[in-house]
Structure 1
Amino acid sequence: MQYAVGIDIGGTKVAIALVNEQGKIVSEDKLPTDLTIAPTEMIERIIASVNQQLDEQVLSDSDLIGIGIGAPGPLNSKEGLITSPPNLKNWRNIPIVEQFKSHFTVPIRLENDANAAALAERWLGAAQATNDFVYLTISTGIGAGIYVNGQLVTGLRGNAGDFGHTVINPSYGECVCGQHGCLEHIASGTAIARKGSQLAGKSLSTVEVIEAYQQDDPILKPFVQDVFRTIGIACVTLINTFDPEKIVLGGGVTKVGHVLFKEVEEYVKTFALNPASRATEIVPAKLDQNAGVIGAAALILQG
Structure 2
Amino acid sequence: MGDFNQSVILDAIRRSSDGLSRVELVDLIGLSPQAVSNITRRLIAEELIVEAGKTGSGPGKPRTILRINPSGRYAIGVHLDPAVMTVLLMDLMGTVLHRRVRETPIGTEPEQIIDAIAGEVRALLEESPVDPARIEGIGVAPPGPIDQPAGAVVDPPLLLGWHRVPLRDALAEATGMPVLVEKDVTAAAVAEIWAGGHESTQSFIFVYIGTGIGSGIVVNGEVLRGASGNAGEIGHIVADPNGPECECGMRGCIAVTCDPQSLVREAERLGVLSAERHRNGDIADGLTQLCAAAEEGDQQAVEILSRAAVRTARAVSVVANILDVDRVVFGGPFWEPLANRYLEVVPSSLLDFRAARSIHPVEVVSTGIGDDVAAIGAACLMLERTLGPRAERLLLAL
TM range (shorter): over 0.9
Change in CA separation of 1:38 and 1:262 when aligned onto 2, cut-off 3 Å = closer
Alignment equivalent of 1:215, drawn from 258, 276, 296: 296
- State whether residues 144 and 163 of structure 1, in contact with CA within 8 Å, keep that contact through their aligned partners in structure 2: yes
Partner of 2:189: 118
Distance in structure 1 (CA, Å) of the matches to 2:245 and 2:310: 20
Q: C-alpha deviations, 1:38-86, integer Å up to 9, x for none? A: 2112101111111121122245643321111111001111101011101
In structure 2, the residue matched to 1:236 is 317
The 8 Å contact of residues 331 and 373 in structure 2, kept in 1 or not, is answered as no
Q: CA deviation at 1:154?
A: 0.7
Match of 1:198 in 2: 269
Q: Decide whether aligned partners of structure 1 residues 298 and 91 sit closer, same or farther in structure 2, where only a CA change above 3 A counts.
A: same
Please tell me whether residue 262 in structure 1 is matched to residue 344 in structure 2.
yes
TM superposition shift of 1:128: 4.5
How far off is 1:297 after superposition?
Answer: 0.5
Q: CA deviation at 1:106?
A: 3.7
Give the match for residue 285 of structure 1.
367
Percent identity reads 27
Corresponding residue to 1:173 among 209, 226, 244: 244
Change (3 A) 1:108 1:218: closer
2:166 maps to which residue? 95
1: distance between equivalents of 2:344 and 2:359? Answer: 16
Q: 1:101 to 1:33 in 2, by over 3 A?
A: same
2:306 corresponds to which residue? 225
SS of the residue corresponding to residue 174 of structure 2 reads coil
What SS does structure 1 have at the residue aligned with 2:182? Answer: strand
Report the Cα offset of residue 140 of structure 1: 2.2
Equivalent residue number for residue 148 of structure 1: 219
Stretches of structure 1 lacking an aligned partner (at least 5 in a row): none
In structure 1, what is the equivalent of residue 95 of structure 2? 24
RMSD, aligned CA? 2.1
Q: Give the Å deviation of 1:254.
A: 4.7
- 8 Å contact 1:81–1:95 — kept in the other structure? yes
State how far apart, in whole Å, the 2-side matches of 1:227 and 1:268 are.
13
Alignment partners' CA distance in 2, 1:263 and 1:277: 21
In the alignment, residue 152 of structure 1 is paired with which amino acid?
V
Q: Which residue of 2 is the match for residue 162 of structure 1?
A: 233
Amino acid at match of 2:87: I
- Of the two, which has the highest radius of gyration? 2
Is the 8 Å Cα contact of residues 17 and 25 (structure 1) preserved in structure 2?
A: yes
Aligned to 2:133: 62
Rate the CA distance shift 1:13–1:245 in 2: closer, same or farther, 3 A. Answer: same
TM-score for the superposition, normalised by structure 1: 0.92
| Letter of the structure 2 residue corresponding to residue 98 of structure 1 | D
| 1:273 Cα offset (Å) | 1.2
- What CA deviation, in whole Å up to 9, does each residue of 1:177-223 have, x standing for no partner? 55431112111211110111101173351222223333333433333
SS, match of residue 371 in structure 2: helix
- Secondary structure of the 1:288 match is coil
CA contact (8 A) 1:271 1:278 kept: no
Q: Tell me by how many angstroms 1:135 deviates.
A: 0.3
8 Å CA contact 2:108, 2:159 repeated in 1: no
What is the alpha-carbon distance in structure 2 between the residues aligned to residue 277 and residue 187 of structure 1? 29
Q: Is the 8 A contact 2:76 2:89 kept in 1?
A: yes
1:176 positional shift = 4.7
Letter in 2 for 1:268: L
Equivalent-residue separation in structure 2 for 1:206 and 1:127 (angstroms): 32
| Counterpart Cα distance in 1 of 2:198 and 2:244 | 35
Classify 1:277/1:106 alpha carbon distance in 2 versus 1 (closer, same or farther; 3 Å). farther
Distance 1:126 1:220 in 2: 34
Task: Give the structure 1 partner of residue 326 of structure 2.
Answer: 245
CA distance in 2, matches of 1:138, 1:187: 9
Q: Distance in 2 between matches of 1:258 and 1:219?
A: 16
- The answer to which structure, 1 or 2, has the higher relative contact order (CA under 8 A, 6+ apart) is 1
Larger mean CA deviation between 173-182 and 76-85 belongs to 173-182
**Separation of aligned partners in 1, 2:130 and 2:335:** 38
The amino acid of 1:168's aligned partner reads A
Q: TM-score w.r.t. structure 2 length?
A: 0.71
Q: Which deviates further from its counterpart, 107-116 or 194-203?
A: 194-203
One-letter amino acid of the counterpart of residue 280, structure 1: V
Give the stretch that moved more between structures: 92-101 or 31-40: 31-40
Does the C-alpha gap of structure 1 residues 135 and 173 become closer, same or farther in structure 2, counting only changes over 3 Å?
Answer: same
In structure 2, relative to structure 1, the CA distance for the partners of 1:190 and 1:37 (3 Å cut) is closer
1:227-272 deviation line (CA, Å, top 9, x unaligned):
1211221232222111111000113245333432121111123331
**1: CA distance, partners of 2:259 / 2:225:** 22
The CA distance in 1 between the partners of 2:368 and 2:359, in whole Å, is 23
Looking at structure 1, the residues matched to 258 and 360 of structure 2 have their Cα atoms a distance apart, in angstroms, of: 22
* In structure 2, C-alpha distance between the alignment counterparts of 1:15 and 1:45, rounded to whole Å: 11
Return the alpha-carbon distance in structure 2 between the equivalents of residues 261 and 58 of structure 1: 41
CA distance in 1, matches of 2:246, 2:367: 27
